[in-house]
Structure 1
Amino acid sequence: MRYLPALIVDAVLVLIFAVIGRASHQEDPAGFLLTAWPFLVALLVGHALAALMGSGPRRPWSLLWGVTVWVVTVAGGMLLRLVAGDTAQIPFIIVATIVLGVFLVGWRALAGLLRRRRKSEDADAATSAPVESEAAAEPEASAD
């Protein structure tokens, strides 16, 4: 399952978001699942939607996949909070949108940069492979 690693990374980041949020409001960080569950459910929906998009992203580590997951996670998470009787005040929506965007899209951008850098280094290494000189190809003369 090529989707699982990206889903796990995203879920861990959503959990970190919930822990940080609770700690920043002096709430018990141990109750982070109360904060995280709507976003985790929306995250699953976002991954499913990204996977089902016909002309959309094909790789779960692509930026387009990340943007799809991010938008669905924020919007769906906020809606689920409201349906469950919790609040979704404007400052929370803004902070959640920014933090989850940095988390869910950011790691994909970083991974893409690292992949491009590695490909560039591999291409540079292949084109600058040492060429044997004629002097190196001749055996050394022995001093008898």
Structure 2
Amino acid sequence: MTIAVGERLPDATFKEKTKDGPVETTVKDLFSGKKVVLFAVPGAFTPTCSLNHLPGYLDNIDALKGKGVDEVAVVSVNDWHVMGAWAEHSGGMGKIHFLADWNAAFTKALGLDADLSGGGLGVRSKRYSMLVEDGVVKSLNIEENPGQATVSSAAHMLESL
């Protein structure tokens, strides 16, 4: 079952590359007492994710924070090495949290996993964005087509804040 607005995020642990190496970050660490925009991509370095979805959030980080957002994070079913390389390559290191959900545990707990084996990707995350306040989902925007980033885009999130 898919997580719904008003529900609390499930407990999970992510890995994130920092300038000092990999660190574990929990849902509690990142979301407790904060207003966070979380968006998910089917895969780091994939075309829509790298050319459209992530750049929109990087370009609008100041505008999001200007509307009261404390943190912005992207999650993907990739390992922390890939997510760290994507953070460095995109210029997003230190601006956005690049969370590795390496075994899809968080994604599956949300009910937002997708079998993209037909495209050679295996089990991945659906593309979505959500506003989370103190660990509770306040809005959830799920894309019907993983190749599009419209309702899950930074522009759409800004309009809804």
Q: Same fold (TM over 0.5)?
A: no
Structure showing the higher helix proportion among its residues = 1
Q: Identify the structure with bigger relative contact order (alpha carbons < 8 Å, sequence gap 6+).
A: 2
Q: State TM-score, norm by structure 2.
A: 0.26
Rg larger in 1 or in 2? 1
- Structure number having the greater strand percentage: 2
TM-score normalized by the length of structure 1? 0.28
